[in-house]
Amino acid sequence: MISFDQQEKHNYQYMVLELQPGCGLTRDDLVSALHAENVLARRYFWPGCHNMQPYRDLYPDAGAGHHRCV
């Protein structure tokens, strides 16, 4: 779990986890396991804002030439 500044005010709405290489678990495996335990989990910044309305229609070429993030 990524640490945060204890001096700041938090509502603990989000927890960020970072998987280290070689941990034996993929991001998708972790999300599936959390869903099985009734934990609302999702990929970070997914879907990308450029793929959501209204940006998708306003800027249809926003992702052109870039690698697809998953």
Q: What was the pLDDT predicted at 66? A: 53
* Domain count along the chain: 1
Residue 39 within any structural domain of the chain: no
CB 41 within 8 A of CB 35: yes
- Give yes or no for residue 19 having a pLDDT over 50: yes
User: 65 burial class (0-12, 13-18, 19+ CB within 10 angstroms)?
Assistant: exposed
Instruction: Note down the domain range covering 53.
Output: 44-70
- How many Å apart are CA 50 and CA 54, to the nearest integer? 9
- How many Å apart are CA 52 and CA 34, to the nearest integer? 25
pLDDT cut 90: percent of the chain above it: 17
Residue 11 within any structural domain of the chain: no
- Give yes or no for residue 29 having a pLDDT over 80: yes
Residue 7 within any structural domain of the chain: no
Residue 3 within any structural domain of the chain: no
Residue 15 within any structural domain of the chain: no
- How many Å apart are CA 9 and CA 63, to the nearest integer? 35
Q: What is the mean pLDDT of residues 23-47?
A: 87
Residue 19 within any structural domain of the chain: no
- Give yes or no for residue 65 having a pLDDT over 70: no
Residue 60 within any structural domain of the chain: yes
Please tell me the pTM assigned to this model. Answer: 0.53
- How many Å apart are CA 7 and CA 55, to the nearest integer? 36
Residue 53 within any structural domain of the chain: yes
